[in-house]
Every structure is written in structure tokens, then in C-alpha cells.
Structure 1
Amino acid sequence: MIGMFWIALVTSLTAWFCYMNTSEEIPRILAMAVGTLGVGCDLVIAPWPLQLGLVLLILYWTRHVSPPPTKAS
């Protein structure tokens, strides 16, 4: 299981590298899709301490995020 985690992580990082260094539209979209799928797989098959750490990191980063104010009509 941990081997699959590393394979998905390397694939995601490679896709991110391709996304950042490609100027054409279709390859960038495909690289973004592969990277997103890889990150999704990483989140599912990651060891539980890593999953817990990611959840805490996301909660810490988004604690000051609030929705935009609505316009009163």
C-alpha cells in the first residue's frame, strides 16, 4: 500500500512539473487532471498520520476564510 502511495505522489509531482512548464492548453489541462487524480489517490491511500496531518493543516489554513459579503437588496 505504501508503494502505491509513492507511485501516486511521484505521478502527481511529475504532472505538476509538466503543468508548470507547458505553454499549450491541452497538455496543461491533461496534466492538471492527472495531478488532481493523483492527489486524490494519495489522500485515500496515505497512512493515517499523514491524513490527519493534512486535515489539521487544511483546517489551520482555512480558519480565516469567510464567504464574500452578500449584497442586501
Structure 2
Amino acid sequence: MDRQANRRRLAVADRRAEIVAAAVRLLGRRTPEGLSLPEVAAEAGASRALVYHYFRDRKTLHSAA
């Protein structure tokens, strides 16, 4: 099974946690102002649309991280 098929099976809370963890990793390397949701999506192995589904903007994601 490919990686995308496995990712679709994650629970909502697990997927959200992966996105937050990716944001935390990126925040370790840059300032909050330098964080972009597309970069977080790439780091998490998720689509940009999925990141925007859970977090409406950078500020919301930063608050969760």
C-alpha cells in the first residue's frame, strides 16, 4: 500500500497532531512569522487543503503548536 492510502486512514485527532508536530519542527528552525501553511503541509506529508481544513491561518496553527 502506498503512503497516501495509509495517511487517509488516520483518525482526525492523529492527523491534526501530525500537522501540529510538523509546525513545531519548523518553528524550531524559524520564527513564527516565517512559518507558512504550505511548508507545514509539506513537512507533515499532507495536502495544503488539509492543513487549511484544520487551521484557518498561521496564527491559529501557531497557537496550537
TM-score (norm 2): 0.36
Greater Rg, structure 1 or structure 2?
Answer: 1
Please give the TM-score of this superposition, normalised by the length of structure 1: 0.33
Of Structure 1 and Structure 2, the greater helix share is in: 1
